[in-house]
């Protein structure tokens, strides 16, 4: 049982008094795994004031001083990798062995490491004649993060913000707040000065929206739903803050007829079902040639049969529960909608998987013969539900892929590299994966259209935390 009632403000753990607490539920057991406090405007004001005060000194540190701190963060983080993986496992149900230890926890470290290397080599000044172009820290940053890849999403904001010389207030998801607590401990131990990083827990309406409207916040860096993203842009409008948004997705995966069907579909199902389908860039719409539909269904069903759904602490589990009751109910509802709308259920379906009596477990579900106008093809389900959509030819596949309000990621499988690359250039998305290529932490991550604005990761993500200044005249 994790007792995480304190907030981290100005380098100290403070116990907020007279505030409600929130139970954090283990999605495997539906039992209480820990408790946090829900902060209010007073705590946001305290944290923002601490960050604003700390900015005066931190923004003037040299890149070499910040590199030294970031290297220390990497060391401390590395030493606590197992703790971090366990926290992620408890807060949102990622399978401990196959996902939390293998991917979720190391990905956070990956962002600290790549950012440290970027900082070592970054040119903060350039000369154009007598004008100097400077890149300066953007200021005090509000960071609001979701629950699905919790440490990855915090680290890809905190690392570049620290590197840029910004100070920050983090409000992690109230659904999965454990790893944020560990991150604050790590930053403290690594010697990040008081006030540079602050942590306040709370919900969206109570803490998040107040933080995004706060006059002393210069930049909001948000990851979460498109619904909340729209509210944040409105809240930030009165003070015209910079806003960076990483939002939802409904990514298309075009399997061209010259692809190795077995390999492409097996790989795609694994990517789709990873993290129980709770990844913003999940390839949730699989576009296959009409003539290969039956074969695609067969391969997808067999791939799903190989998934081991169960307790996320068991070593052989490959798919854990959904993160929360709310998510479970949403996904179950959309599986029902798919059936009602006439999609063909290939495998999975409503209800708990066989042999499981409690927890937010869901069957790995595949629908086929899906029409791109159906609700299950348009809405982000954020669960282990794959939609197979047939197409006649390449042009139609591209049109279906782009016919969505989202634009986060795209996937293309083809036996012809030139063709895959040509199709990739036609997709209106922030990233495209060819033939199963994984994400690249040094490449920009973000979306077109309603999947967001701005980019995270790598140099592009780092530059979101910098302002540009021109100093003209001899200098
Ligand atoms: P959510 O939008 O409900 O919540 C995300 C965070 O925003 C939480 O910390 C929440 O407390 C806070 N919040 C909610 N309403 C707010 C408001 N009005 N003002 C300020 N803060 C508010 O999203 P979620 O359910 O936690 O996460 C799932 C969503 O996140 C999915 O849509 C997924 O696609 C998206 N996501 C996007 C990316 C990406 O990089 N594009 C990555 C991961 C998740």
Distance CA 173, CA 154 (A): 10
CB 48 within 8 A of CB 166: no
> Which of these, 449, 473, 452, lies nearest to 464 by C-alpha position?
452
- What is the pLDDT at residue 474? 86
Which residue's CA is minimally distant from atom 36 of ligand 1? Answer: 224
* Cα 258 to ligand 1 centre (Å): 38
CB 280 within 8 A of CB 406: no
In tens digits, the chain (475 residues) has pLDDT values of 999 999 999 999 999 999 999 999 999 999 999 999 999 999 999 999 999 999 999 999 999 999 999 999 999 999 999 999 999 999 999 999 999 999 999 999 999 999 999 999 999 999 999 999 999 999 999 999 999 999 999 999 999 999 999 999 999 999 999 999 999 999 999 999 999 999 999 999 999 999 999 999 999 999 999 999 999 999 999 999 999 999 999 999 999 999 999 999 999 999 999 999 999 999 999 999 999 999 999 999 999 999 999 999 999 999 999 999 999 999 999 999 999 999 999 999 999 999 999 999 999 999 999 999 999 999 999 999 999 999 999 999 999 999 999 999 999 999 999 999 999 999 999 999 999 999 999 999 999 999 999 999 999 999 999 999 999 998 8
Question: 246 catalytic, yes or no?
Answer: yes
pTM of the model: 0.97
Q: Is the CB of 284 under 6 A from ligand 1?
A: no
Q: Is the CB of 300 under 6 A from ligand 1?
A: no
Q: Cα separations (Å) of 359 from 92, 120, 175, 237, 327?
A: 12, 46, 15, 41, 12
- Give the tokens for residue 21: 């607490």
CB 194 within 8 A of CB 130: no
Distance from the Cα of residue 160 to its chain's centroid: 15
Q: Which atom of ligand 1 is nearest to the CA of 224?
A: 30
269 HSE (CA, 13 A, CB side) = 25
Which residue among the candidates 86, 90, 174, 246 is catalytic per the annotation?
246
């Amino acid at each position: 049982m994790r007792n995480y009632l304190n907030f981290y403000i100005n380098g100290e753990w403070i116990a907020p008094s007279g505030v409600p607490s929130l139970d954090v539920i283990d999605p495997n057991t539906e039992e209480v795994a820990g408790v946090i406090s829900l902060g209010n405007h007073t705590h946001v004001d305290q944290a923002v004031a601490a960050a604003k005060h700390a900015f005066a000194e931190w923004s003037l540190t040299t890149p070499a001083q910040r590199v030294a701190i970031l290297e220390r963060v990497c060391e401390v983080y590395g030493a606590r990798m197992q703790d971090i993986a366990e926290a992620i496992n408890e807060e949102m149900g990622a399978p401990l062995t196959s996902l939390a230890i293998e991917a979720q926890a190391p990905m956070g470290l990956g962002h600290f490491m790549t950012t440290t290397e970027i900082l070592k080599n970054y040119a903060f000044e350039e000369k154009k004649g007598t004008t100097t172009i400077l890149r300066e820290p953007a200021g005090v940053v509000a960071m609001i993060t979701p629950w699905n890849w919790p440490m990855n999403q915090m680290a890809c904001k905190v690392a570049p913000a620290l590197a840029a010389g910004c100070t920050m207030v983090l409000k992690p998801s109230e659904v999965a707040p454990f790893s944020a607590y560990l991150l604050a401990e790590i930053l403290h131990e690594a010697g990040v000065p008081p006030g540079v990083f602050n942590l306040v827990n709370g919900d969206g309406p109570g803490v998040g929206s107040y933080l995004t409207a706060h006059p002393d916040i210069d930049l909001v860096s948000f990851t979460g739903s498109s619904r909340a993203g729209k509210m944040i842009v409105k809240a930030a409008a009165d003070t015209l803050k910079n806003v960076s948004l990483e939002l939802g997705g409904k990514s298309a995966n075009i399997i061209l007829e010259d692809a190795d069907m077995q390999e492409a579909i097996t790989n795609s199902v694994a990517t789709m079902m990873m993290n129980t389908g709770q990844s913003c860039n999940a390839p949730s719409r699989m576009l296959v040639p009409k003539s290969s539909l039956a074969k695609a269904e067969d391969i997808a069903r067999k791939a799903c049969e190989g998934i081991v759904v169960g307790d996320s602490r068991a070593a052989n589990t490959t798919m854990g529960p959904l993160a929360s009751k709310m998510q479970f109910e949403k996904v179950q509802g959309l599986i029902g909608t798919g059936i009602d709308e006439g999609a063909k259920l290939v495998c999975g379906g409503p209800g708990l998987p066989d042999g499981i009596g409690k927890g937010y477990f869901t069957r790995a579900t595949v629908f086929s013969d899906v029409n791109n106008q159906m609700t299950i093809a348009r809405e982000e389900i954020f669960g282990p539900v794959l939609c197979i959509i047939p197409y006649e030819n390449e042009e139609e596949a591209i049109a279906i892929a782009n016919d969505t309000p989202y634009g986060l990621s795209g996937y293309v499988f083809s036996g012809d590299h030139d063709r895959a690359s040509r199709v990739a250039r036609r997709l209106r998305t922030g990233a495209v994966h060819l033939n199963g290529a994984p994400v690249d932490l040094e490449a920009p991550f973000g979306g077109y259209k309603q999947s967001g604005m701005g980019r995270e990761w790598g140099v592009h993500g780092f530059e979101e935390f910098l302002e540009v200044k021109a100093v003209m005249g001899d200098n």
